Amino acid sequence: SRFSYIEHVIDVSGEYGGQFHSYQEIMSASSAPIAEVKLEPEDIAHVAYTSGPTIHPRGVVMSHQALVREAAISGEGFRQTDKDIVVLFALPMHHAFGLVVVMLTAVSRGSTVIVLPGLSISSLLEVIEREKATIFMGVPFVHALIVNAAEAEGIKHDLSSVRLWGTAGAAMPTDISQK
């Protein structure tokens, strides 16, 4: 098989029956008590690895307080609510942009998050249109791919539901932001 190295798949959705392990069954079979952990706001919550402006990876330590504050600041700045539908596409979850700015902000605001597998711009545009997404976050390169696909292939999707096209990681080229 193509994925012979995979030994176990856990189905969180419950849609695949006996084909995979059921997350709900695994959790209900556990008799382990929930551990009580005392956390301080300054305690380390996450170490994000990034090369930043260099080619040498380094760990950026983020405290619980930093994660919560960043999600709160982002949510306020985006005017994000529980009515928003956010699309997560091609952003790594081990980095602050995908994890904090998109996921934690959405969780803290009660927003819906659609996580798209793969890297198909066509699928991305279809999902934005079908689900009436209101927020899209991506690096400038992905925004450029969207604009270029729309221009080159004549992709006609109604993207008017998107009220916020956010970016980070590099400067957005002026010609892309204007389109």
CATH of the domain at 66: 3.40.50.980
75 lies in some domain: yes
4 lies in some domain: no
2 lies in some domain: no
Q: Cα–Cα distance between 6 and 11 in angstroms, integer?
A: 14
Q: Which of 133, 96, 130 is nearest to 113 (CA)?
A: 133
Q: Cα–Cα distance between 156 and 54 in angstroms, integer?
A: 39
Q: What's the structural domain count of the chain?
A: 1
3 lies in some domain: no
5 lies in some domain: no
49 lies in some domain: yes
The overall longest dimension of the chain from CA atoms, in Å, is 58
Q: Cα–Cα distance between 162 and 119 in angstroms, integer?
A: 19
First to last CA, the chain: 44
100 lies in some domain: yes
Task: Show pLDDT as tens, one digit a residue, over the chain (179 residues).
Answer: 566 777 888 888 878 777 788 888 888 888 888 788 999 999 999 998 776 677 787 888 999 999 999 999 999 999 999 999 999 998 888 788 889 899 999 999 999 999 988 888 989 999 999 999 999 999 999 999 999 888 887 768 889 999 999 998 888 999 998 88
> Pairing mode, if any, of strands 58-63 and 112-115?
unpaired
For residues 90-123, one letter each, b for 16 or more C-beta atoms within 10 angstroms of the residue's C-beta and e for the rest, the string is ebeeebbbbbbbbbbbbebbebebbeeeeeebee
Coil, helix or strand for 46?
Answer: strand
112 lies in some domain: yes
Contact 136, 91 (CB under 8 A): no
Q: Could you list the residue range(s) of the whole structural domain that residue 35 is in?
A: 10-178
Q: Rounded to two decimals, what is the model's pTM?
A: 0.76
